[in-house]
A = this chain, B = another copy of it.
Amino acid sequence: MTPHTTEALARFAASFERSRIPADVRHAAAQCLLNWAGCALGGAGHPAVERAMAALLPFSGAPSASLIGRGERCDPLHAALFNGISSHVLDFDDTHLATLVHPSGPVISAALALAQHQAVDGKRFVDAIALGIEVECRVALGVYPAHYDIGWHITGTAGVFGATAAAGRLLGLDETRMAWALGIAATQAAGLREMFGTMCKSLHPGRAAQGGLNAALMAHAGFTSSTRAIEAPRGFARVTCGDPHLDDVTSGLGESWEILKNSYKPYACGVVIHPVIDACLDLRRSNAFSPDDIAAVELDVHPLVLELTGKTEPATGLEGKFSVFHAAAIALLRGESSFRDFTDEAVRDANVIALRRRIVAKIVAGTREDEARVTMTLRNGERLSRHVPNALGSLARPMSDEDIERKFRDLAQDVLPQAQIDQAIGLCWKIDEQPDAGRVGAALSPQPQVSYPTRA
């Protein structure tokens, strides 16, 4: 056991010099910001966000912070909560594949809310995101996989540490207060995997963001905590994980960066489906056929695809996200795979259903998780096949800046006018040069308030 995990992270979050944060890490923070912003815009009208706001907005304090994709404003603590929910509710946000943490929801939701409350320039904001995500992913590394296997939703539990570190950095906490802040975070860390499939799943990054901001503010005011909150016998790691390996938290801290191993999702559905979608889109783009021509489709996949996404007759948009058959049918039929294709309406589309039922999946030994082969038989007997060795968005084939920007535009197009979309993209890519990072909040909020179509 590393003796001083909490203090090492506190020192890193409070005192690590900007000059030692590499340029590629700073760029990754901008990618995180743009991807987070797109996801929050796309999720802003979701009933989970609407209902959380209906419940809690009456208790908001002075409205200094923006709600992404919405016209309302509220206090920073509630803004962190609501934006954390909207950024995760489409299951479309970033993933640190080594731990399954979704890093940006907790960290950026907290950091932006605070940056709208007090003046923060872009450089400090990027520092906070980079260091916050590093703390979050490293706490997760110290307890994964046992912690996750037990049933903790690690985005909630590790997330609050990241949000705390980011907010604490922006507040200028010294090392002692940063350690207290991480302790206040540790003793609030929560989130159960039992909640998957309910609105509470997206509550987790929201609560982590709000709790982290709370923790940093309280430590700033001198509220004390243990400075051994992670590594102590009754601290976070041992209590929530039978088998912590805390050396992984601090080993190479400030030298190797977990944010560089972050990944972005091109499609708003289970990640194991992604290589199948890539293959289907490629087949559709490269060949002239009508959906009616398709007699049968065979998917050669990794075993997890059927275990996690084997739903043959999805009844809701949410179930569609976990149906490889729906995802493949959509891609072949529509030649796209937008988040709009995973709605209740889409899974009930008669044409989608008809094609879906002609698709079978087969587990092929030796297939990797990010690999798939799709073979289509047309009614004229012709067979078309496409092999995808690495899905788009995998570490071997990451989404490019252009891919992330395209995803953002798709998510933003119903929420913001075109000129504002262009402006927001520019702001995010050049966040490091902004005199006032809080402007990102306003840039991502429509004026006047948009009204959302009701979604199921």
Chain A residues proximal to chain B, CB less than 8 Å:
47-48, 51-52, 54-56, 58-62, 75-77, 150-153, 156, 183-184, 186-195, 197-200, 203-204, 207, 214, 217-218, 220-226, 228-229, 232-236, 238-239
Contact = CB atoms under 8 A, between A and B. Distances in A.
A235 B194 contact: yes
B47 A222 contact: yes
B51 A223 contact: yes
Contacts of A54: 221-222
A239 B59 contact: no
Given A192-B226, A200-B226, 20 more contacts: A48-B223, A51-B221, A52-B218, A54-B221, A55-B217, A56-B77, A58-B61, A58-B62, A59-B61, A59-B76, A60-B61, A186-B194, A187-B191, A187-B192, A187-B194, A187-B203, A188-B190, A190-B190, A192-B235, A203-B223
A221 B56 CA distance: 9
Given A61-B75, A223-B199, A233-B151, A194 B228 contact: yes
A224 B200 contact: yes
Pairs of residues from A and B, 7 with the lowest C-beta to C-beta distance, nearest first: A151-B234, A55-B221, A151-B239, A194-B234, A59-B61, A55-B217, A54-B221
Nearest to A200: B225
A226 B195 contact: yes
A223 B77 contact: no
A88 B413 CA distance: 50
Nearest to A152: B239
Nearest to A213: B59
Nearest to A222: B51
Among A217, A218, A232: residue with most chain B CB under 10 A: A218
Contacts of A76: 59
Contact of A224 (B184, B198, B232, B233): B198
B239 A224 contact: no
Contacts of A189: 190
A366 to B, nearest CB: 31
A59 B217 CA distance: 11
Contact of A192 (B156, B195, B198, B234): B234
Given A222-B47, A239-B151, A192 B229 contact: yes
Nearest to A210: B214
A318 B150 CA distance: 36
A79 to B, nearest CB: 10
A197 to B, nearest CB: 8
B151 A220 contact: no
11 contacts: A51-B218, A52-B223, A56-B217, A184-B200, A187-B190, A187-B194, A187-B195, A187-B200, A187-B203, A194-B232, A199-B224
A203 B217 contact: no
A223 to B, nearest CB: 5
A373 to B, nearest CB: 33
A41 B343 CA distance: 53
A130 to B, nearest CB: 25
A319 B295 CA distance: 78
Nearest to A48: B223
A235 B200 CA distance: 13
Question: Which of A153, A223, A224, A235 gathers the greatest number of chain B CB atoms within 10 Å?
Answer: A223
Nearest to A189: B190
A223 B207 CA distance: 14
A214 B184 contact: no
A194 B61 contact: no
A206 to B, nearest CB: 11
